[in-house]
Amino acid sequence: MKKWYLIIDIEKCGNCNNCFLSCKDEHVDNDWPGYSAPQPNRGQKWINIHGKERGQYPFIDVAYLPVPCMHCANAPCIKAAKDGAIYKRPDGIIIIDPVKAKGQKNVINACPYGAIWWNEELGVPQKCAFCAHLLDDGWMKTRCVESCPTGALSVHCVEDAEMQEIIKAEKLEVYQPEHKTSPRVYYKNLHRFTRCFIGGSVAVRVDGKDECAEGATVTIFNAANKKVSQCVTDNYGDFKFDNLEENSGKYTFQIAYAGYDTKTIEVNLKKSLYAGTIYL
């Protein structure tokens, strides 16, 4: 049958926190029997937004990673819960039964994504329930998706085969695949948060003045001298090679610009770096 999936595009997330606030609006002081107990006003983040800064001044970017419950197909929280307190619906949504789960604080540590929270007042674990109470009432979007102004979040109710086609076409990834939980939350442009880049600026001297070398061809090679990628500098003379593995060692890039000798630069990549202004 069709299952619910959430897709998050890191490139489009600007940390506006509308998703977080709409979740609060839906669940704080609101009891949805069978789905979730009221969420506390403070402390819990059923969609938790992490930020990461990459690079060095003046070549820096920032990415934001919203992390809700992953609604895993192989959910470790289900295994940790007793008496069926946490279960997976046929449509893939993971629900913590607010009655059966009372007192089961241990399930918090079972989630490798830190997506389960403890309600001290009610004595119950809580998390994102994918707005299942709304979906069951005919809604086609969760509150977080409905409130996202950039389209960074989207929900899809599709067969598994169709989702696999979407994953391939959109180049989607799961966060922290090493946990092997088979999440139903997928990310686009996840490299903005999990991987790194090499950036630089190319310039020339003309009549004693520095000018940006727009249109220079920059080719990057790895330690095995294999071509990794190629790009052209923009009108500021800047170039950027992204989606590189941290601590991946030596990279060499060659810069070719009409009327100037080709220049070769070598860097050692540990984390995102700016190679500075390179004069031809």
Percent of the chain scoring above 70 in pLDDT = 100
Q: How many Å apart are CA 39 and CA 45, to the nearest integer?
A: 9
d(CA 113, CA 256): 45
**Is the model's pLDDT at 166 over the cut of 90?**
yes
Bridge-partner residues for 67, per DSSP?
Answer: 48
Which structure tokens are listed for 129? 């329930």
The alpha carbon dihedral of 162, 168, 174, 180 has a sign of positive
Last residue of a domain, one of 136, 167, 193: 193
Report pLDDT digits (tens) over 115-155: 999 999 999 999 999 999 999 999 999 999 999 999 999 99
Give the structural domain span for 27: 3-193
Alpha helices in the chain, H assignment, sequence order: 18-27, 76-80, 132-135, 143-147, 160-170, 191-194
Q: What is the CATH number of the domain that holds 206?
A: 2.60.40.10
Quick one: DSSP state of residue 37? P
pLDDT digits (tens, 9 = 90+) for 13-40: 999 999 999 999 999 999 999 999 999 9
How many angstroms separate the CA atoms of 33 and 31, rounded? 6
pTM to 2 decimals? 0.92
Answer whether the bond into residue 33 is a cis peptide, omega within 30°: no
Each residue's pLDDT tens digit, 184-222: 999 999 999 999 999 999 999 998 899 999 999 999 999
User: Token digits for 265?
Assistant: 């630069």
Which of 133, 166, 193 is a domain's end point?
193
Residues 142, 41 share a domain = yes
